[in-house]
Chain A
Amino acid sequence: MTDQPLDPVDAGAITTPAARLASYIRGGGIVVPLLTALIAFVIAGLIVLITGHNPLTTYKAFFDGTGLNWLFPWTSGDDRTTAALNLQQTLIATAPLILVGLAVAFAFRAGLFNIGGQGQYLAGSIVAVWFGSKFSGMPHLLHVLLVIVLACAAGAAWAGIAGVLKATVGANEVISTIMLNWIAVWVGVWLFGLGGPLQNPETPSVPISSDVTGSAKLPVFWGNPNLQGLHVGLFIALATVVVFWALLNRSTSGYEVRAVGFNPEAARYSGMNVARNYVKVMAICGLFAGLAGAIDILGWQFRLATNDIQTSDIGFLGIAVALLGRNTASGTVAAALLFGALKSGTSQRNLDPSIFEPSLAFNLTLMIQGLVVLIVSTDVIALRILRRGGALNPFRRRPAPAEEEAT
């Protein structure tokens, strides 16, 4: 197995995650992420098998829960109606995942690991529910805009703390963003908990926020608004993807971000302000994640219970989304759709409990998430399997650095 060096690059020479991952992007094209997801699902299937369930029927039940069979022309009648409802759920889950994925991906491109998507998402949600439940007399679009702007600002500020700490005293962003996640959780639980300042005054015994007023809700464009139809948040997320792409690839700031990501020392030497870049990058990441919180609140949640805050895992899924999507715009959308589908396909609402217990499926999702991140962390595995496939694989683009491996 160790007869040849298998890394696409000399691992010892490149130390920043962004640079390593960038080389992997060149190294595997679209096939490696697909293979990564496949390996993760196969291993998870094995776990399902050894714990006494049938992996095929389980995955079939997941798939039916996603509603993706709506896309098949032969799905008809009641099946089609159910599939439409399920597909709406999948897309509702995809929209925030795209945004938190971008929040992680953007940081990665600057060489930062933003594990704080969860806290930034919560900061956005909290502010969105706070201001969304006020000003009921405001004109509709204006209210929505105001809440979105405030939620983005909250997310940006929350992430900005980690950016400032990194820029000024060099505090490791991994630890600081994780601490900020937990602080956001407890602040949220305090705000909406019993006796908290933002708890719904009409239900003093329930730890929940007030409801978002009608003037701040996002319009639904597919399905019944009373049954959680698909809201326009998906379009907001897709528009943000375009912004992300343009910002990163077509602007001076984006160039600096990528330069800092590849090699902070070289960037500093060429006159870029690396410290200011860290703050800016983290703030933009927080903005994306805060927006995700806002569209969830204004689109379908409309209120926040302390339990929602403690069990939410959107921000953590964002890490797997970004890594599987290779930190690119299009990749993030595709990976978000995969995890959105997995999330809705395994939800209490969509998964048939007689086939597989949804609470088990939730943990299985966590394992798939972990396996994806684990495999992406090296990529040597996927690349190794690819090379075994050798010439049989028409999609493979062999990178220039990998050619030098013949030693």
Chain B
Amino acid sequence: MTLTRERIGWAGIALAVIAAFIAVPPALVRSPVPSIVLAVLAIALGIYAVPGDRRLGWGAIVLGLLAGLGAVAATKSSSGNLRDVFTWSALIASMLRFATPLLFAALGGIVSERSGVINIGLEGMMLMGAFFGVYGSDLLGSWVGGIVVAVIAGGALALIHAAFSIHLRADQVVSGTAVNFLALGITGYVFVDHYGDNGTPDNISRAPDLNLPVLHGGFFDSAIGHLNLLTWSALLLVPSLTFLMFRTRRGLRLRAVGETPRAAETVGVNVISTRYVAVTVSGMLAALGGAYLSVGFVGSFNENMTQGRGFIALAAVIFGKWKPLGALAATLLFGFSSALADRLPTFSESTATLFQALPYVLTLVAVAGVIGRSRAPGSIGIPYVKE
């Protein structure tokens, strides 16, 4: 094992993570010195790695800086507050909660983009799921009905995107943006028209939490013992989709259509219908993510409640290199940042507001840092013209 600059860069990143980690519980080192030493070391390794691997090097430098600052801030605040925020089991549960909608949407994004259609409309499809989940649950009196209605609504919106970007060969980014506006308008309109100023009713049937009996008390009980059914479904979808995409004929066809549609066509794959199915499925998955927000988590809907999560999911697709497992890692990272921001009001209300921006900043950094390292499907964004 040689000491390449790339490995040094990874070491720098690891050191930065350790520098931040030792300042918070359970290690809770109360002096800033060890963290600062580690952070400086991380930055030094980063600087060394820059000529070999620019992104990795800069990643280590930036992370080292952030870890140093964070650790100093941590040692300056009371250990009681720190223990409140960094209750790891609760943080993990919260991370999984925040990651669930992102994961559904990101998996949807992977399906669509692997078939060669950019899906900027994930946000709108999530929003459809969020509203129609509550609407269906209210109308049919059960959360199962809500989820079915949500999936149909998301699929229908995706079908519009599919028709425009596949059949009418629209610019896919513009068409996706249009679909987002449409979703905002449709959900807002029906919401106001149907529920008026009162908002959605309080007694919405919610998707149940799964209380795992084997984990009485302890760390695992509070971390994963009471997660929502939909959270588990999203996690199970990761291996299922991986298998489907990389181990089955259907998956191979999907990827072929996204890479070289002409070649796929010549061996008898129907490019147009494959793309239609992929985009529709992606809308359905995104809608499940939206439905989790409303029927799964809070049990109500408010206008524009997805708040850009569809775009974070899109970033997770790129960050995860168009692979389900990669998307899982990315959404867990974004989920963790949301979970952290969520618990920070312990320190200061005002600063916590600023930390609401953290997931978006992280997404920005992730997209900037990873592009070029990950390769998009070959014919993504290019409408297919039959010959």
Q: Which residues of chain A have a CB within 8 Å of any CB of chain B? A: 7, 10-12, 15, 17, 20-21, 47, 51, 113, 115, 165, 169-172, 174-176, 178-183, 185-187, 189-190, 193-196, 316, 319-320, 323, 357, 359-360, 362-374, 376-378, 380-381
Contacts and interface: CB of A to CB of B under 8 A. Distances in A.
B383 A183 contact: no
Contacts of B371: 169-172
A175 B123 CA distance: 12
28 contacts: A17-B174, A21-B171, A113-B173, A170-B371, A172-B371, A174-B120, A176-B367, A176-B368, A180-B364, A182-B307, A182-B308, A183-B360, A189-B353, A190-B351, A194-B350, A195-B349, A195-B350, A196-B350, A316-B181, A357-B192, A363-B185, A365-B185, A367-B185, A369-B185, A370-B185, A371-B182, A373-B181, A378-B170
Interface stretch (B42-50, B92-100, B210-218, B310-318): B310-318
B372 A170 contact: yes
Interface in B361-385: 361, 363-364, 367-369, 371-372, 381-385
B311 A175 contact: yes
A185 B354 CA distance: 10
A245 to B, nearest CB: 23
Contacts of A378: 164, 168-171, 175
B184 A370 contact: yes
Contact of A186 (B184, B349, B354, B372): B354
A195 B360 CA distance: 23
A47 B182 CA distance: 12
A93 B318 CA distance: 37
Given A169-B368, A364-B189, A377 B181 contact: no
Interface of B: 55, 120, 160, 164, 168-171, 173-175, 177-186, 188-189, 191-193, 307-308, 311-312, 314-315, 318, 348-351, 353-354, 356-357, 360-361, 363-364, 367-369, 371-372, 381-385
B179 A363 contact: no
Nearest to B186: A367
A360 B372 contact: no
B369 A169 contact: yes
Q: At the interface, is chain B mostly helix, strand, loop or mixed?
A: helix
B198 to A, nearest CB: 13
Nearest to A193: B353
A154 to B, nearest CB: 17
B192 A190 contact: no
Nearest to A381: B168
Given A319-B177, A370-B185, 9 more contacts: A7-B169, A11-B383, A17-B174, A51-B189, A175-B315, A183-B364, A187-B354, A363-B191, A373-B178
B381 to A, nearest CB: 7
Given A115-B177, A370-B178, A374-B175, A175 B314 contact: yes
Given A186-B353, A366-B184, A51 B193 contact: yes
Contacts of A169: 55, 368-369, 371-372
